[in-house]
Amino acid sequence: MLLYVHVPFCRQKCAYCSFYSEAGAIRAGAGARRAYLNALALDFERAAEGRIFDTLYLGGGTPTMLAAEELAELLDIIRRRAVFAPGAEKTAEANPGTLTAEKLALLKAGGINRLSLGVQSLSDDLLTRCGRRQRAADTWRALALARRAGFVNIGCDLLFGLPGQKAADWRDTLRALSGAGLTHLSLYALTPEAGTPLAADMAAGRTTLPDDDAEADMYEWAREFLAGAGYRQDEISNFSLENYACRHNFGYWRGEEYLGLGAGAVSCLREQGKLRRTRRAEAGEYARLLSLGRAPLAPAGTEIIEPETERREYVMLGLRTREGISCREFERRFGRNLEDIFGPLPQELARAGLLLEEGERLRLNPRYYFVANSILVKFI
Ligand code: SF4
């Protein structure tokens, strides 16, 4: 089983961010953080007992925004209340601007064996335009400190299609990070989500993003460049050096069960059917519910995943990966074969070259990764 732990605090909100996180002196202040850690300990006691986890993903928000003593406490909560399988992958997300030698030493001592740095870009100008405070120099400093602390498995998240981004900016960032030996790169196209400052700026004509063709060129260049630099494409947005694929991500893509603890975290567990549960996305209310001994769930936070939804999600997530889906495994899991469920669609897509058939496996043809959603939507 996979374990995700959410730390919903950020120094300030990035202009494009629609994730749940709390920013600002009061909402993300020391008092709020302390109350949150107490609540998280209760959440662990209620939900983690009796489970064995294969992975941990400490995400946010910004886990490394916690002060060193708070980070130590969080790691202690996890160490004392969660049981991990031998060799478990344990990732911490880290914002380069908030990492210190002390925090890195704590993460290392706390069993974290994988770092995922929120780099996004190495252009200071582009970082400013997206409302991020960190600078490229912070990334290099964080990387040097992480290596000194003994971390080998270090990946990063990058964004493309940023306001004003040129192909050269993107290429320089990828060349520099792959040259620095990062083990894993996640590349995401910037999406102007409704309600964010970025979307408002775009609606008011103050900001424009590169057009679809420019974005597609950036993506295709990255795929080709990273293949030449020794990275395998694990999934549409994820690339890794050999032996450094993210086990936690693959767990999601393979439809494994996961427990998400913390405000706003999502779990997907099999309990008399498959249930998706979402925790309350407001740290104060999350803590209040736990202090009353109640489940810290969002209103209407329990969704029964019908077999039809589960089959569709399994196919749509699996086809996006390099391993694709196994038709035999599909039948074993769901008791019916692909054709029973989707009729001639898989074969038609394979004949059109959109899916690749490899023995009894099917996967999306990588040539169509950039337009994957327009193909996968046919399975709905
Ligand atoms: S650091 Fe991440 S979670 Fe926090 S505001 Fe920025 S994008 Fe959102």
First to last CA, the chain: 27
Give the whole-angstrom CA distance, residue 333 versus residue 311.
Answer: 9
Q: 82 and 152 in one domain?
A: yes
Q: 110 and 30 in one domain?
A: yes
Domain end call among 212, 230, 252: 252
Q: Residue 272: is its pLDDT beyond 80? A: no
Q: What is the mean pLDDT of residues 261-276?
A: 93
**Tens-digit pLDDT profile for residues 77-101:** 999 999 999 999 999 999 999 999 9
- CA trace torsion 44, 46, 52, 57 (10° rounding): -30
Q: Residue 243: is its pLDDT beyond 80? A: yes
Q: Is residue 88 part of a domain?
A: yes
Q: Whole domain around residue 89: which residue ranges?
A: 2-252
Name the residue with the closest Cα to ligand 1, atom 6.
Answer: 14
Q: Cβ(96) to ligand 1 under 6 A? A: no
Q: Residue 206: is its pLDDT beyond 80? A: yes
Q: 169 and 32 in one domain?
A: yes
**Tens-digit pLDDT profile for residues 2-45:** 999 999 999 899 999 999 999 987 788 899 999 999 999 999 99
**Tens-digit pLDDT profile for residues 304-319:** 999 999 999 999 999 9
Q: Cβ(19) to ligand 1 under 6 A? A: yes
Q: Is residue 206 part of a domain?
A: yes
Name the residue with the closest Cα to ligand 1, atom 8.
Answer: 17
Q: Is residue 291 part of a domain?
A: no
Give the whole-angstrom CA distance, residue 235 versus residue 188.
Answer: 12
Task: Report the CATH number that the domain containing residue 357 is assigned in CATH.
Answer: 1.10.10.920
Tokens of 205: 């004509």
Q: Give the total number of structural domains in the chain.
A: 2
User: CA Rg, the chain, in Å?
Assistant: 21
Q: Cβ(60) to ligand 1 under 6 A? A: yes
**Tens-digit pLDDT profile for residues 346-356:** 999 999 999 99
Q: 331 and 225 in one domain?
A: no
Q: What is the mean pLDDT of residues 247-252?
A: 98
pLDDT at res. 27: 82
Question: Considering the chain, what is the average pLDDT of its residues?
Answer: 96
pTM over 0.85: yes
Q: 221 and 124 in one domain?
A: yes
Q: 118 and 217 in one domain?
A: yes
